[in-house]
């Protein structure tokens, strides 16, 4: 028995105890906890992206707490327990890896992917669409990529990246036309098509749009904070009064500073 995990489970049970527990924890339910679960998953990803192992240890603990939290609420309602969750995922891993726990053979990661998909298909009930199972709760870029991957598996995919890029150019032209027409609803639709095409082009080039945008946002945040510090150091007290020309000059300085330290 993992005594540390049992301790965590006992802590959560105490927090949820209607007589002696925490008033905030007692009133929570599955839906109210979901935002925290999602947030903790992203904080794990952030710690990994920063390469900060001490933070990763802490964030993994916070994410584990979310699993224990949901399992505790389910157990209170007689649905399933934390042990059931662990047993279920262990059985799934055994079933999805017959090349490890059975007699199938897999020499490459691609072989493993085919085996995984075949096992998953055999385990799941027949679906009405190949796109079924892509949860709507995913971030938009990630969901677009998963939908595209599923469609590609049955042949609905551009023959090459050049064709995908041509489609992107086509969507850009349609967006420009919508701008000229002044139709806000049409503009919004075409902008969505552009984003979808960007995700598809990136996917076909082996890039993950969700991760790419997350890194781009982190880079922007890092450089902007660097600009703020440099501007204040140079005597610019009120950042709202700085011209765009000055902002762009300091952005260039931050970019060059990063390049010189790489």
Cβ-contact 251, 225 below 8 angstroms: no
**One domain, residues 166 and 188:** yes
Residue 28 lies in a domain: yes
Same domain (yes/no): 199, 148:
yes
Instruction: List the structure tokens of 95.
Output: 């079933």
Domain boundary among 80, 113, 132: 80
More confident position, 148 or 113 = 148
Check pLDDT > 80 for residue 79.
yes
Residue pointed to by tokens 């399992």: 71
125: region left, alpha or beta (phi > 0 left; psi from -120 to 50 alpha): beta
Distance CA 114, CA 104 (A): 12
List of residues 6+ apart from 190 with CB closer than 8 A = 171, 174, 175, 177, 178
pLDDT at position 133:
83
Residue 1, pLDDT > 60, answer: no
Query: Do the domain assignments include residue 179?
Result: yes
Residue closest to 147 by CA, chosen among 209, 105, 190, 191:
209
Mean pLDDT of 232-249: 94
Geometric angle at alpha carbon 218, from 212 and 223, rounded to 5°: 125
Final residue before a domain boundary, out of 29, 59, 80? 80
For residues 235 and 180, state if they share a domain. no
Is 65 within the bounds of a domain?
yes
- State the alpha helices, DSSP H only, in 97-160: 98-101, 109-123, 140-153
At 136-148, the pLDDT tens digits run 888 899 999 999 9
Local confidence band at 222 (pLDDT 50, 70, 90 cut-offs): very high
pLDDT, tens only, 36-51: 999 999 899 889 988 9
Let me know the angle formed at the C-alpha of 149 by 145 and 151, rounded to the nearest 5 degrees: 115
Q: How many domains does the chain have?
A: 3
CA–CA dist 176, 187 (Å, integer): 8
Shared domain for 219 and 199, answered yes or no, is no
Do 245 and 195 sit in the same domain of this protein? no
CATH number, residue 69? 1.10.287.1080
Assigned domain for 124 exists: no
Is 70 part of any domain? yes
- Please report which confidence band the pLDDT of residue 262 belongs to, taking 50, 70 and 90 as the band edges: low
Give CA separation, 258 vs 71, 74, 112, 218, 245, in Å. 45, 49, 40, 14, 20
Question: Which residues span the domain enclosing 189?
Answer: 140-207
- Say if 89 falls within a structural domain: no
Domain end (from 165, 182, 207): 207
Q: How many CB atoms lie within 10 A of CB 20?
A: 8
Q: Contact 210/217 with Cβ under 8 angstroms?
A: no
Supply the pLDDT for residue 31.
95
Residue-level pLDDT at 258? 86
> Is there a domain that residue 29 lies in?
yes
pLDDT per position as a tens digit, 175-217: 999 999 999 999 999 999 999 999 999 999 999 999 899 889 9
Q: Let me know if residue 69 belongs to a domain.
A: yes
One domain, residues 257 and 203: no
Is 193 found in the same domain as 175? yes
Give 241-254 pLDDT, tens digit per residue: 999 999 999 999 99
Residues 6+ apart with CB under 8 A from 123: 92, 95
pTM above 0.85, yes or no: no
Task: Check if the beta carbon of residue 208 is closer than 8 Å to that of residue 186.
Answer: no
């Amino acid at each position: 028995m993992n005594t540390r995990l049992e301790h965590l489970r006992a802590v959560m049970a105490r927090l949820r105890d209607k007589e002696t527990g925490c008033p905030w924890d007692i009133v929570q339910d599955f839906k109210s906890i979901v935002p925290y679960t999602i947030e903790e998953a992203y904080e794990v990803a952030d710690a990994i992206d920063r390469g900060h192992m001490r933070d990763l240890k802490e964030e993994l603990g916070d994410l584990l707490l979310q699993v224990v939290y949901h399992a505790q609420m389910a157990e209170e309602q007689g649905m399933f327990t934390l042990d059931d969750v662990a047993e279920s995922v262990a059985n799934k891993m055994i079933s999805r890896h017959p090349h490890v726990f059975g007699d199938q053979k897999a020499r490459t990661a691609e072989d493993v992917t085919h085996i995984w998909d075949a096992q998953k298909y055999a385990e799941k009930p027949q679906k009405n669409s190949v796109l079924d199972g892509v949860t709507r709760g995913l971030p938009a870029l990630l969901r677009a990529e998963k939908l595209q991957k599923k469609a590609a598996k049955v042949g609905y995919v551009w023959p090459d990246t050049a064709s995908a890029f041509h489609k992107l150019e086509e969507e850009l032209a349609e967006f420009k036309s919508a701008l000229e027409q002044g139709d806000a609803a049409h503009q919004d639709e075409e902008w969505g098509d552009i984003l979808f095409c960007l995700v598809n082009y990136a996917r076909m080039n082996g890039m993950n749009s969700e991760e790419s945008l997350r890194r781009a946002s982190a880079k922007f945040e890092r450089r902007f904070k660097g600009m703020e510090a440099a501007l204040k150091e140079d005597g610019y007290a009120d950042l709202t009064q700085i011209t765009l020309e000055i902002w762009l000059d300091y952005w260039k300085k931050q970019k060059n500073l990063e390049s010189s330290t790489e």
